Structures are given as structure tokens and as C-alpha cells.
């Protein structure tokens, strides 16, 4: 077992400055909030912090069609009216609008996931985090579900250069359809998605019967859930399935998509998950020490403290518990964000999960930071459980579990693959200081890559909220 995980964390403030438009639920500003919350808990001091490179078009075209990448590169809000047929062809519009700096936004979040995969491949870290990534709906030739470039597919393709098998796990409330589709015909990647299914819920795929085809048959695992699933049901099912998947498939690396729209209270979600089950703990902690049986055998405060500790570890459940469970396999781990549309809860969730990956206990009271006003009025890191009726009966959960286990039994053993010479990483041109023309203007991102600022990850990003962002 590793004594201490080496963690690389990727962030570029520019990724949080884009604006999808009025009334659009996707708020990249949540990434700035997350980063500043991570800083306020001093978690950056326990990680290596990197600004990702902006992915080159040739890198994006390792999965996406060259014409689609070129169109994303070319289209702007001012010119979109000239390309109405292409907008329809590539599914750009209401859900996936054209906005200022769209292509740069894609380059940054995809670059983060590519850089994360490469550091893992070169054994420069054990865990790599890119909360800006996880846009799992994008397809080879089109955008979908607020996603333009599928950074997860690109990251997995990178990991496959060094690993015979890669496991992809998705805990977003929406089915990870883009990633599943990309690897539906291969056994080199096993995709496992836990998501809401039915009632015309987006994207409409992810039935338990969708198991892959040809060489990929049985290597797509779908866990379709109904409204209102709670921490205990979700975590129990998650652990049983993932434990069996890892035992059967024996992956060389894991990619974990941590979409936060599966949390209670999400604007687009319908589950009852807490971040870390702490609301149950907070409910139990006020019990007075004199109410604990047999308190007379030990000093009351000692017994109460012991009770609180036992209670905490017995009831640690929720979204973050999935991250903790996957971490324990001690495999190279790439962690991304994903959905999440109640942005203060997204920031809470991904900060807690950064702490989980660092084995760091975080105080419940949120420290002062540039976005503290968003966490009022209680300024607490925890969120309450939801109150949506749980439509996932014990018999339904049991049936889903049995069907998944039956698929896994159809896999005789972990598939082998003849590994050839590892393809080189894409050439990333270095900055040539001698060859620079002093009269030529460079963009801000290029300039930033040429200098090293002491304050790079400490000074505030502008709050880019719009009056419509409620």
C-alpha cells in the first residue's frame, strides 16, 4: 500500500470565466468557486498544482471528427447566423449554445484531462484531478447535453497507451452515454454508469440491458435508478458492483467522473444524495452524553467523544464515499467533475472530495474566501439529505444488482491485449524565447505560460455571474 498518494491538480481560471447565456443551467463559474474553496482549506499545499495546456486541434481529433473540431474552432456568436445548417448538423443550439471563447473553453478543460492522464502514465502522480473535465455527453461528430468535447474519451485513449484495460466509473445523475458509445465495441474499456433512467430523463439511454456489442459485449455496465435514491441504497449498490467489477476486470487505471448533479437539491437532479452523509451525523451528535447507556463506567465526555467517532465512521455515506471507495483500490486514478447545477453545492462537493483524495478532514465551517457569500446563511460545508420520495424499492435494487452480476459472470477473465510500442505523447511546442518577435503581440494565455507568478493560484477570479444567474 502506498504511504502517501502523490496528487496532481489542474486548474486554469479562464475556464470559469465563460458564460453559456441567460437562463442556461451550466455555470462554469462553479469552477472558480470550487478552486477558491479548495484554497481556503489550504488543500493546495498538499498537492502539485498545474495550469493545463490548451489542447491542440490535432489532440481533440484523436476522438472527434476533424470537421467538427474545425467548426468549433471557427464558429463565434457573431458568425453563427451564417452557419445555420452546420449548427443543426453538429447539434449546437439551445442546450449547447455558441458563446464567446467556446473553443478555448474546450481546449482548457480537455487539456486538463489529457495532462492528467499523461502524468499518470509517466508515474509522476498517483491521483490526478481535473474538476473542469467530465463532459461525458459529447459525441464523435456533435455536441450534446452542454458538452462539446469529450475530454473523458480523450483521457481514456491516452491511458490506453500504457494500460491494457481502463475502468470508467460515472456517478453523474445523467447516463454517461458519450463515453459508453465511444467504447461500446471494445473490451479495452469497461464503462460503469449509475444514473437516473426513465420518464424521458436525458439522455434517454442507460438501460441495464445495454451491455455492449461484439468484442465489447458485457463491458458496458448500466445501473439505472429511479427518483429519490438515498445514500445508503446508492452506496451499498455502488460498493457491491464496483468491488466485483475491479475483481473481474482487473483494470490498470480508473477514470472516475464525479458529476455533482446526483446530489440532493440539484436544479436538474432528482436524487437524495448528501455529499458525505454528515447530515445524519449532525443529527446524532446533539445527543447528550448522559443519555448514553453505561456512561458511569468512564468519564462522560470520553464516552461521548468515542460515541461521536464511532457514529461518524459508521454512517459515512453519500457522494464522497464513492470517491473514497474507489481510491482504496490504489490504482492510477483520474478524477473529473461533470454535471452539477446548484453551484454552491458543486463547490462544496468537489472540495470535500479533494479532501477525501488527500485524506484530509475538513471543518464544517467554511473559511473566508472570495465567494463566501454564496454559502450563506449557515456557511456550512455539509448539505442536508433530500426529501424526494425514494422510488427505488428493495426488490428493484435487488433485480438491478442481479442483472449486473449476471453480466459480470459472463466475463470469463480479464481480457488480454498485445501491447505494442507506446505511441509518443503529442508534440507540444516549447516556447522559444530566442525566436520570439518582440514586436508581435501574444494572447494572455501564451504570455502566462512564459512567466511564473507567485500569486497564480491565490488571487481572485472575477465573479462572472449574470443577473439571470439565480
Enter the C-alpha cell of residue 282: 449532525
Which residue's entry shows cell 505511441?
423
CA–CA distance, 82 with 433 (Å, rounded to integer): 40
- Residue ranges of the binding site: 95, 145, 172, 174, 261, 341
CA–CA distance, 319 with 386 (Å, rounded to integer): 13
- Residue ranges of the binding site for substrate: 95, 145, 341
Enter the C-alpha cell of residue 1: 500500500
Pick the closest to residue 322 from 132, 169, 120 (CA basis). 169
137, 163, 195, 319: which one is catalytic?
137
Enter the C-alpha cell of residue 140: 464523435
CA–CA distance, 143 with 72 (Å, rounded to integer): 10
For the CA atoms of the chain, what is the radius of gyration? 23
- Residue ranges of the binding site for a divalent metal cation: 172, 174, 261
Residue 447 annotated among the catalytic residues of the structure: no
What HEC string does the chain produce?
CCCCCCEEEECCHHHHCCCCCCCCCCCCHHHHHHHHHHHHCCHHHHCEEECCCCCCHHHHCCCCCHHHHHHHHHCCCCCHHHCHHHHHHCCCCCCCCCCCCHHHHHHHHHHHHHHHHHHHHCCCCCEEEECCCCCCCCECCECECCECCCHHHHHHHHHCCCCCCEEEEECCCCCCHHHHHHCCCCCCEEEEEEEECCCCCCCCCCCCCCCCCHHHCCCEEEEEECCCCCHHHHHHHHHHHHHHHHHHHCCCEEEEECCHHHECCCCCCCCCECCCCHHHHHHHCCCCHHHCCCHHHCCHHHHHHHHHHHHHHHCCCCHHHHHHHHHCCCCCEEEECCCCCCHHHHHHHHHHHHHHHHCCCCCCECCCCCCHHHHCCCCECCCCCCCCCCCCCHHHHHHHHHHHHHHHHCCCCCCCCCCCCCCCCCCCCCCCCCCCCCCCCCCHHHHHHHCCCCCCCCCCCCCCCCCCCC
**Cβ–Cβ < 8 Å for 129, 135:** no
Pick the closest to residue 98 from 24, 151, 33 (CA basis). 24
Q: Which residues are catalytic?
A: 137
Amino acid at each position: 500500500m502506498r504511504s502517501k498518494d502523490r496528487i496532481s491538480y489542474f486548474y486554469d481560471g479562464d475556464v470559469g470565466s465563460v458564460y453559456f447565456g441567460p437562463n442556461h443551467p451550466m455555470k462554469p463559474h462553479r469552477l472558480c468557486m470550487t478552486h477558491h474553496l479548495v484554497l481556503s482549506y489550504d488543500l493546495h499545499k498538499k498537492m502539485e498544482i498545474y495550469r493545463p495546456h490548451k489542447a491542440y486541434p490535432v489532440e481533440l481529433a484523436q476522438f472527434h471528427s476533424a470537421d467538427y473540431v474545425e467548426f468549433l474552432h471557427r464558429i463565434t456568436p457573431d458568425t453563427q447566423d451564417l452557419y445555420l445548417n452546420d449548427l443543426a448538423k453538429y447539434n449546437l443550439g439551445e442546450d449547447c449554445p455558441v458563446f464567446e471563447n467556446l473553443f478555448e473553453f474546450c481546449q482548457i478543460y480537455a487539456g486538463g484531462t489529457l495532462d492528467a492522464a499523461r502524468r499518470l502514465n509517466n508515474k509522476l502522480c498517483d491521483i490526478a484531478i481535473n474538476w473542469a473535465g467530465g463532459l461525458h455527453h459529447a459525441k464523435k461528430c456533435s455536441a450534446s447535453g452542454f458538452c462539446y468535447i469529450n475530454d473523458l474519451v480523450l483521457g481514456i485513449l491516452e491511458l490506453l497507451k500504457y494500460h491494457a484495460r481502463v475502468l470508467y466509473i460515472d456517478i453523474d445523475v445523467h447516463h454517461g452515454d458519450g463515453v459508453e458509445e465511444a467504447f461500446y465495441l471494445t473490451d479495452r474499456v469497461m464503462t460503469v454508469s449509475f444514473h437516473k433512467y426513465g420518464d424521458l430523463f436525458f439522455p434517454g439511454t442507460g438501460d441495464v440491458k445495454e451491455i455492449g456489442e461484439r468484442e465489447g459485449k458485457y463491458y458496458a455496465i448500466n445501473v439505472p435508478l429511479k427518483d429519490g435514491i438515498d445514500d445508503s441504497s446508492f452506496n451499498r449498490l455502488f460498493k457491491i458492483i464496483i468491488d466485483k467489477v475491479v475483481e473481474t476486470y482487473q483494470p490498470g487505471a480508473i477514470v472516475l467522473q464525479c458529476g455533482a448533479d446526483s446530489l440532493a437539491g440539484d436544479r436538474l437532479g432528482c436524487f437524495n444524495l448528501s455529499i458525505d452523509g454528515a447530515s445524519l451525523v449532525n443529527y446524532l451528535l446533539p445527543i447528550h452524553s448522559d443519555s448514553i447507556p453505561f456512561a458511569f463506567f468512564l468519564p462522560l465526555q470520553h464516552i461521548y467523544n468515542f460515541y461521536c467517532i464511532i457514529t461518524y465512521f459508521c454512517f459515512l455515506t453519500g457522494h464522497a464515499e464513492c470517491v473514497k471507495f474507489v481510491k482504496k483500490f490504489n490504482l492510477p486514478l483520474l478524477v473529473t467533475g461533470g454535471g452539477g447545477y446548484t453551484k454552491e453545492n458543486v463547490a462544496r462537493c468537489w472540495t470535500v472530495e479533494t479532501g477525501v483524495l488527500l485524506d484530509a478532514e475538513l471543518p464544517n465551517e467554511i473559511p473566508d474566501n472570495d465567494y463566501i457569500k454564496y454559502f450563506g446563511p449557515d456557511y456550512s460545508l455539509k448539505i442536508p439529505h433530500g426529501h424526494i420520495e425514494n422510488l427505488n424499492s428493495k426488490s428493484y435494487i435487488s433485480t438491478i444488482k442481479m442483472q449486473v452480476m449476471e453480466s459480470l459472470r459472463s466475463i470469463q477473465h480479464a481480457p488480454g491485449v498485445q501491447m505494442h510500442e507506446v505511441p509518443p505523447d503529442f508534440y507540444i511546442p516549447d516556447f522559444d524565447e530566442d525566436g520570439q518577435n518582440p514586436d508581435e503581440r501574444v494572447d494572455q494565455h501564451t504570455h502566462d505560460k512564459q512567466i511564473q507568478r507567485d500569486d497564480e493560484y491565490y488571487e481572485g477570479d472575477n465573479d462572472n455571474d449574470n443577473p439571470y444567474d439565480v
